[in-house]
Amino acid sequence: MRRNIILLIIILSILISGCIENPFRQVPIIKINMTFIEKDGIAEVVNYDITQESVSFLARPVREHAPFPAISARAMIVKGKNSSIGPWEMLPYSGPGTYTLNVSFEKNPLVNDSIHISVYVLDKDGERMGAFKDNIVWR
């Protein structure tokens, strides 16, 4: 019993000191809602909405790769003192329809940073069959 209490105190001390990421803190993400149609083998976005949000550290995108065909996206902080390129996030693509994808950052964006978002639709061979890009200013 005493050993368990000591172990719990050590783990809490490490968490509080910042040596391990706080699983309850909020991290910024970009949420992309998009609707695709297909014409002649090309995936075209007909509507999309990009919003900035924050989620708990535990709910952040997991950076897993999806099997092809897939939708792949990343966010880049392209202007500001904080410039960085985020990881590619992927989601399986099963044809025309509406999809939601959360994209994370390498570094947290600062107010007024310019963010460039790239979204690609990849076919079964990993070749690009559609894309769209947009820029936002972090608020």
Dump pLDDT digits (tens) for 42-60: 999 999 999 999 998 888 8
- Taking CA atoms, 2 is separated from 5, 8, 14, 76, in Å, by 5, 10, 19, 49
Q: What percent of the chain has pLDDT over 90?
A: 65
Q: Is 51 within a domain? A: yes
Cross-strand partners of 51? 31
Q: Is 91 within a domain? A: yes
Are the CB atoms for 56 and 24 separated by under 8 Å? Answer: yes
Q: Is 128 within a domain? A: yes
Q: Is 86 within a domain? A: yes
pLDDT at 21: 61
Q: Is 14 within a domain? A: no
Upstream peptide bond of 69 is cis (omega within 30 degrees of 0) = yes
Q: What is the mean pLDDT of the chain?
A: 88
Q: Give the predicted TM-score (pTM) of the model.
A: 0.80
pLDDT at 132: 97
Tens digit of each residue's pLDDT (9 = 90 or more) over 68-87: 999 999 999 997 677 899 99
Q: In angstroms, rounded to a whole number, what is the distance separating the alpha carbons of residues 63 and 88?
A: 7
pLDDT at 22: 65
Tens digit of each residue's pLDDT (9 = 90 or more) over 12-37: 666 665 555 666 789 999 999 999 99
CATH number at 44 reads 2.60.40
Return the number of other C-beta atoms located less than 10 Å from residue 93's C-beta: 24
Q: Is 75 within a domain? A: yes
Q: Is 13 within a domain? A: no
Alpha helix (H) ranges present in 1-139?
2-17
Tokens of 106: 């390498």
Q: How far is CA 127 from the centre of its chain?
A: 21
Q: Give the domain extent around 59.
A: 25-137
pLDDT at 14: 66
Q: Is 47 within a domain? A: yes
How many independent structural domains does the chain possess?
1
